[in-house]
Amino acid sequence: MDKFIVKGPSKLKGEIAISGSKNAALPILASTILFEKEVVIKNLPRVKDIDTMINLLKSLGSIVKFSKDKKTVKITKKKKHKFFASYSLVRTMRAGILVLGALVAKYQKSITSLPGGCLIGARPINYHLNALKKLGMKYEIKKGYIHANSKGKLKGAKIRFSKISVGATENTIIAACLANGITILRNCAIEPEIIDLINFLKSGGAKIKFIGKRTVRIEGVKILKSTIYSVMSDRIETGTFCVAACLTGGNLKINNCDPKIIKAELSLLKKVGAKIKTSKNQIHILGPKKIKNISNLVTKEYPNFPTDLQAQFMVLLCKAKGKSSITESIFENRFMHVAELRRLGAEIIIKKNKALILGSTNFKAAELMSSDLRASVALVLAALVAKGTSIINRIYHLDRGYENIENKLRKVGVKIRRIS
């Protein structure tokens, strides 16, 4: 099993290019099931979750051809499509559930495994199932599989999500594209990755538009036509490298990114003392000599501070002068990195869904264990500023969501290597 050896402390200096967004590419790939004709998707990140989704599509009958650099795929259909999304492919990745809506919309049936992913909370799929049921999907759960079908095409409906859910919003938008009639979705998630999915579907002829801040109108169409689409840049990777520059007192230019979609994060980094300049596709960030504390940071749905950057910001606030706190309001089990940060010397007190960070930590190297994707990268960040050589185990979590992170970090001055 691979691990990272990181020698700290480091100061990041130079330029880093951001990869395509994993969280945008996964629903876009799942939605290719809806298309009759060839689809070309560019700017895919080379991460494990993308490989898993591609293998899932192949198992369902899609023909997938990669470009030489494996960042572009051409997807076409076999005449005979399958409807079984196996546990072996869906268990490692939450986004596997997104083929459910696509299969039922296109073929009126599916047997899809209940999903897996990071162990960061219950993440129930009832929001997905309730919404798809309103479109006409019937289902029962047997032996860990959702057995679903519909009598004829799905039918448009008015649906209000009881809780904002990224996955359920995506699944329902995908399914409604081929439904008969008009679907109105209220209380939708509006993350940039959802906008990217909508733009992709519209490029193939889907009729989707926002008629309110969190209200989407979808007019079903008979078929989606051939399209070429480039996936947006990864805002979580962008935010992670911004934190790394700030944490290490670095001087970093981050290219191939969209500063407009991480406004909340950049304003927080300015608050802790970073100097930031932005242009259309670049962020230039100078880390402060002294990091200032933040009294109460709360994770919320977009456009607020994202849960996927909570662990990274916690590492930053460990180095701040004074006490900080983070309240995790999205997932109930997303402080699993805290025990490992304590091994490096952090003083963090957990009370239910709130972390009190005492600050002024002098991190000292240790051997560490990754628990989930974003926690893993937080441990890498902490190791960057720790005195001595740290070992980070179980980095397969990282490989699910960060493309060649060690190569990118090495180019900007980090002493990091992968060993098997």
Q: pLDDT tens per residue, the chain (420 residues)?
A: 899 999 999 999 999 999 999 999 999 999 999 998 999 999 999 999 999 999 999 999 999 999 999 999 999 988 788 999 999 998 888 889 999 999 999 999 999 998 865 444 445 789 999 999 999 999 999 998 999 999 999 999 999 999 999 999 999 999 999 999 999 999 999 999 999 999 999 999 999 999 999 999 999 999 999 999 999 999 999 999 999 999 999 999 999 999 999 999 999 999 999 999 999 999 999 999 999 999 999 999 999 999 999 999 999 999 999 999 999 998 776 798 999 999 999 999 999 999 999 999 999 999 999 888 778 999 999 999 999 999 999 999 899 889 999 999 999 999 999 999
Whether residues 402 and 258 share a domain: the answer is yes
Whether residues 270 and 400 share a domain: the answer is yes
| Nearest alpha carbon to residue 99 among 64, 140, 66, 148 | 148
Last residue of a domain, one of 230, 262, 279: 230
Helix (H, G, I), strand (E, B) or coil at 290: coil
pTM of the model: 0.96
Can you give the residue range of the structural domain that contains 352?
3-19+233-419
Whether residues 8 and 31 share a domain: the answer is no
pLDDT of residue 119: 45
Whether residues 325 and 366 share a domain: the answer is yes
Q: Are 386 and 365 in contact (CB under 8 A)?
A: yes
Give the integer Cα–Cα distance in Å for 211 and 275: 37
Whether residues 249 and 178 share a domain: the answer is no
Whether residues 159 and 249 share a domain: the answer is no
Asked if 177 is an active-site residue, the reply is no
Whether residues 42 and 144 share a domain: the answer is yes
The strand ranges marked E within 197-341 are 207-212, 215-219, 227-230, 251-255, 275-278, 282-286, 297-298, 324-327
Considering 118, 177, 188, 242, which one is annotated as catalytic?
118
Whether residues 162 and 38 share a domain: the answer is yes
Cα torsion 127, 133, 137, 140: sign: positive
Last residue of a domain, one of 211, 230, 249: 230
Last residue of a domain, one of 182, 211, 230: 230
pLDDT of residue 39: 98
Q: Are 63 and 86 in contact (CB under 8 A)?
A: no
277 bridge partner residues: 284
Whether residues 206 and 346 share a domain: the answer is no
Whether residues 166 and 300 share a domain: the answer is no
Whether residues 199 and 269 share a domain: the answer is no
Whether residues 216 and 248 share a domain: the answer is no
Question: Residue 186 belongs to a domain with what CATH number?
Answer: 3.65.10.10
Number of domains in the chain: 2
